């Protein structure tokens, strides 16, 4: 079982949250070229290793947040709040 | 290393003769010597990779081919799927493609001289809601237009075909109807792997097992080490040494992104595990394959009498094939809603395989921005049934240096062109 650390609700079973997948910066829709936009929409790094990803605390506080998770071992690094580059306090 | 009497011709007569003489069967395929160059390297020794190698040799006379696998042949998705084949898809592109695969499966035992135990037992996709029934009718009409035997049937006929199903109206998800597809069925997936491996090997293809690819060698590209768009493939680096080749084909399913990344190519793929389970064997009682989208489950009974269950992919992306308790718990609940009579059956074991999921539930096949680097990936939860046709078409694609019409809709460039082939309604049970 994967325990996901929600910044507000604390560690929760992954089944209680909604997985949003890989986090990538969204290009500006007004200036992005077709290729940039579709790259953002569809292409993924999908590494076997550390991945920064988004979660949605859908049955709790309804916060969107990011964590870094190892896609093979399931290890976690500290949660990162949206917009924070250095990681947020939970 | 040449083998005497290789490959042995399998027949009932041969079985009796060897039984009486008590002679051993020769090895099914060679342990090939290491070579430093090939015309084509195929990464991934599953159904797709082996079928591609087989058809390159059989249809195009290209035999200087190596298949590399980091473990043993068929150790990935080819040996972990639930062995269901069908062609009742939703899009005309998908239907034509999977139907060709079913044709090849039909004659495979003879073509490969190996009994693949194809059991054309019929395939039922249950509808529990009005909208599901609408999609089933849609699929049936698309199928009929392309001459596929496929129709929507009601609860009475369902009960006749599979008496163990609960078709009463007082369940949480009452069965309103089903898409019935008589040509669908099951097949022995290991035999398909062995048949293609044996056939490819007999024609001179080298099958290198336990040969993990560490890097793909490129030159002339925009990215680091000459990789990325505009590059040309020159070979691969493996744990056992470098091999040069002008063409490298990526048939690595769940690991497709990591291999493509070695050539500087990003794919529209996320790797999710899919769990399956099997029960203890009982007497035959389930004659068809039964699928339920609403209940996220598909079930068939093997020739040994075990029930094989598959589910939808796990929601969280991972390369870990460990099983979870949530899966067995949900599976048991859902299966008992369909067939309350089997509540005393015991689960024998569970396992997982990696699925390379694409956004539109269709595969990614053909050339990439790196010259000589081809992909046959994005096989999600439907790769096994497409194995033969993928091999045939990828072999044609590589041999002719042009994408055949049948797989043209599945090229990687469809994502930049915005021409997705939405197959989710017919390819997945988790929606």
pLDDT in tens, B377-404: 999 999 999 999 999 999 999 999 999 9
Residue by residue, what is the 3-state secondary structure of chain B?
Answer: CCCCCCCCCCCHHHHHHHHHHCCCCCCCCCCCCCCCECCEEEECCCHHHHHHHHHHHHHHCCCCEEEECCCCCCCCHHHCCCCEECCCCCCHHHHHHHHHHHHHHHCHHHHHCCCCCCECCCEEEEECCHHHHHHHHHHHHHHHHCCCCCEEECHHHHHHHCCCCCCCCCCCCCCCEEEEECCCEECCHHHHHHHHHHHHHHCCCEEECCCCEEEEEEECCCCHHHCCCCCEEEEEEECCEEEECCEEEECCHHHHHHHHHCCCCCECCEEEEEEEEEECCCCCCCCCEEEECCCCEEEEECCCCCEEEEEEECCCCCCCCCCCHHHHHHHHHHHHHHCHHHCCCCEEEEEEEEEEECCCCCCEEEECCCECEEEEECCCCCCHHHHHHHHHHHHHHHHHCCCCHHHHHHCCCHHHHCCCCCCHHHHCCCC
Nearest to B266 among A34, A43, A74 (CB): A43
Contact B255 A48 (CB under 8 A): yes
Domains parsed from chain A with CATH numbers: 3-70 (3.30.2270.10)
Return the residue of A nearest to B323 by Cα. A1
Confidence (pLDDT) at B422: 82
Second CATH level (architecture) for the domain B123-182+271-357: 2-Layer Sandwich (3.30)
* CA end-to-end distance (rounded Å), chain B: 50
The domain locations on chain B are: 123-182+271-357
Return the residue of B nearest to A1 by Cα. B324
pLDDT in tens, B246-261: 999 999 999 999 999 9
Confidence (pLDDT) at B80: 95
CA-CA-CA-CA dihedral for B51, B52, B54, B57, to nearest 10: 170
The SS3 assignment for A36 reads helix
Nearest to B326 among A15, A44, A71 (CB): A15
Per run of 10 residues, the mean pLDDT along chain B (length 431 residues) is 63 90 88 96 97 97 97 95 93 91 94 94 95 94 94 96 94 95 95 96 96 96 89 96 97 96 96 96 96 92 94 93 91 94 94 95 95 96 94 97 94 90 73 47
Contact B359 A42 (CB under 8 A): yes
Confidence (pLDDT) at B223: 85
Residue (of B278, B298, B297, B275) closest to B351 by Cα position: B275
Q: Concatenated DSSP letters for A50-67?
A: EEEEEEE-TTTT--EEEE
Confidence (pLDDT) at B431: 47
Q: Which 8-state DSSP code applies to residue A87?
A: -
Contact B315 A19 (CB under 8 A): yes
CA B409 to chain centre: 19
Contact B416 A34 (CB under 8 A): yes
Confidence (pLDDT) at B426: 72
Q: B324 and chain A: CB distance < 8 Å anywhere?
A: yes
Choose the mutation target among B271, B273, B316 for the interface with A, i.e. most A CBs under 10 Å. B316
Nearest to B269 among A15, A46, A74 (CB): A46
Q: Which residues on B lie below 8 Å from A43 (Cβ)? A: 266-268, 415
Q: How far is B417 from chain A (nearest CA, A)?
A: 9
Q: How far is B205 from chain A (nearest CA, A)?
A: 30
Contact A71 B268 (CB under 8 A): no
Residue A79: band (very low, low, confident or very high) from pLDDT cuts 50, 70, 90: low
Q: B329 and chain A: CB distance < 8 Å anywhere?
A: no
Return the residue of B nearest to A54 by Cα. B316
Confidence (pLDDT) at B421: 86
Return the residue of B nearest to A45 by Cα. B266
Cα–Cα distance measured from residue A33 to residue A47, given in angstroms and rounded to the nearest whole number: 26
The SS3 assignment for A84 reads coil
Q: How far is B330 from chain A (nearest CA, A)?
A: 12
Q: Which residues on B lie below 8 Å from A15 (Cβ)? A: 326
Q: Give the ipTM of the model, two decimals please.
A: 0.89
The SS3 assignment for A73 reads coil
Contact B416 A53 (CB under 8 A): no
Nearest to A45 among B266, B325, B326 (CB): B266
Q: Which residues on A lie below 8 Å from B418 (Cβ)? A: 34, 38
Contact B261 A2 (CB under 8 A): no
Determine the length of chain B: 431
Contact A38 B359 (CB under 8 A): no
């Amino acid at each position: 079982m994967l325990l996901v650390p929600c910044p507000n609700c604390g560690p929760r079973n992954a089944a209680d949250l909604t997985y949003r997948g890989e986090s990538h910066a969204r290009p500006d829709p007004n200036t992005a070229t077709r290729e940039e936009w579709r790259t953002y929409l569809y292409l993924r790094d999908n590494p076997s290793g550390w991945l920064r990803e988004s979660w949605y605390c859908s049955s709790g506080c309804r916060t969107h947040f990011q964590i870094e998770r190892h896609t093979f071992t399931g290890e976690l690094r500290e949660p990162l709040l949206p917009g924070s580059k250095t990681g947020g306090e939970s | 290393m040449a083998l005497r009497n290789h490959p042995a011709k399998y027949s009932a007569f041969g079985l009796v003769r060897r039984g009486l003489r008590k002679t051993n069967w020769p090895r099914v395929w060679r342990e090939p010597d290491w070579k430093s160059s090939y015309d084509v390297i195929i990464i991934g020794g599953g159904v797709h990779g082996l079928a591609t190698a087989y058809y390159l040799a059989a249809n195009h006379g290209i035999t200087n081919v190596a298949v590399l696998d980091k473990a043993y042949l068929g150790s990935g998705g080819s040996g972990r799927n639930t062995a269901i084949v069908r062609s009742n898809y939703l899009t005309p592109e998908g239907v034509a493609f999977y139907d060709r695969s079913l044709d090849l499966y039909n004659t495979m035992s003879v073509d490969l001289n190996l009994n693949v135990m194809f059991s054309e037992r019929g395939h039922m996709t249950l509808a529990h809601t009005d909208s599901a029934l609408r999609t089933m009718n849609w699929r049936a009409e698309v199928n009929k237009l392309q001459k596929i035997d496929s129709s929507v049937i009601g609860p009475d006929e369902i009960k006749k075909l599979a008496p163990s199903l609960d078709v009463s109206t007082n369940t949480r998800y009452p069965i309103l109807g089903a898409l019935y597809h008589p040509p669908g069925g099951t097949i022995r997936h290991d035999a398909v792997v062995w048949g293609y491996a044996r056939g490819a090997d007999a024609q001179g293809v080298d099958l290198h097992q336990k040969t993990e690819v560490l890097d793909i060698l490129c030159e002339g590209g925009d990215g680091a080490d000459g990789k990325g768009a505009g590059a040309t493939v020159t070979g691969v680096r493996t744990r056992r040494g470098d091999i040069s080749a002008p063409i490298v084909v990526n048939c690595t399913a769940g690991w497709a992104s990591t291999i493509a990344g070695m050539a500087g190519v990003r794919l529209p793929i996320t790797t999710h595990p899919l769990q399956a389970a099997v029960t203890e064997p009982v007497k035959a009682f389930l004659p068809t394959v039964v699928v339920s989208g609403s209940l996220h489950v598909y079930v068939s009974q093997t020739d040994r009498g075990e029930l094989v269950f598959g589910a939808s992919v796990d929601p969280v992306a991972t390369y870990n094939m460990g099983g979870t308790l949530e899966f067995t718990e949900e599976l048991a609940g859902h299966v008992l809603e369909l067939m309350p009579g089997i509540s005393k059956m015991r689960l024998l074991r569970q396992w997982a395989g990696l699925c390379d999921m694409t956004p539109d539930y269709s595969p990614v096949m053909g050339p990439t921005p790196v010259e000589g680097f081809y992909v046959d990936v994005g096989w999600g939860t439907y790769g096994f049934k497409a194995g033969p046709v993928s091999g045939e078409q990828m072999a044609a694609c590589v041999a002719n240096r042009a994408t055949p019409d049948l797989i043209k809709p599945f090229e990687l460039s469809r994502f930049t062109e915005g021409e997705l082939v939405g197959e989710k309604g017919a390819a997945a049970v988790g929606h």
